[in-house]
Amino acid sequence: MSIGPENPTPDNRDQNWASNRDHLEIGQVPAGASASRVQGRRLTGPQQGFGQMWQKTFKVAIPGKTPQQVIGAWKAEYGRFWPENTRFYAPVTGIKPGEIGLIKSTQGGLPLSTGVLVLYSDDVSFSYMTPEGHPFAGFITFSAHDENGTTMAQAQLLIRSNDPMYEAGMMLFGSRAEDKMWQHTLKSLADYLGSSARVETKIVCVDKKRQWKKFGNVRYNGLLPKARSRQKGGG
């Protein structure tokens, strides 16, 4: 068996993490994708966002598969499990720590280009972190584990809306659309792996407070045509 980031030992598990960086630098952009709303942007954790903080957990049983098989398939075919109106351009080299995936979507009927950094990846989980301008600030962790002898696939979001515009959209329609999107993703993954189990959803408000000091995040909003860039010299 090869030893690498996907087969971690206690000595090399540090490689499961992306390396530290101040801002995102895009390498090769897949055909059809746009990196202009990701290039040069800083990462935003839940503590950098504006809106209420939510922990959303979606999980589904995948009998007959190991956690490693589930995550292997999820990484390899990540984009195919998304709804048709949303496109994920996986990193050219695959879902590995430090790579960037690009997203083309719509938010409230408006076109949105954004992306995610692969923050962490091992053989039973991987995580994304979002950049400035993304609808939400935070982490999305995909994992698989054994629960009473059955493998469960799980997507867990720990997020705040990135700015007041997104927060208003989330309250009106975005949050429900987001939930449906992840339920669809888990259902598609289960179908692909031969499971007809129902997707379980658990949503918890971790922090009811909005962070008004982050109001200014709106200047990076990916829906605004002239959202501020962080290109070198662009401020």
- Interface with another protein (CB under 8 A): 10, 13-14, 16-21, 43-48, 53, 55, 119-120, 122, 125, 127, 129, 139, 141, 143, 145-147, 156, 158, 206-207
With contact defined as beta carbons under 8 Å apart, do 158 and 138 qualify?
A: yes
86 vs 141, which CB is nearer to another protein? Answer: 141
18 vs 170, which CB is nearer to another protein? Answer: 18
141 vs 229, which CB is nearer to another protein? Answer: 141
32 vs 149, which CB is nearer to another protein? Answer: 149
Question: Minimum distance from CB of 32 to another protein (Å)?
Answer: 29
- Other beta carbons within 10 Å of 30: 14
33 vs 133, which CB is nearer to another protein? Answer: 133
Question: Minimum distance from CB of 36 to another protein (Å)?
Answer: 23
Question: Minimum distance from CB of 107 to another protein (Å)?
Answer: 24
- Other beta carbons within 10 Å of 111: 11
Question: Minimum distance from CB of 209 to another protein (Å)?
Answer: 8
Question: Minimum distance from CB of 80 to another protein (Å)?
Answer: 23
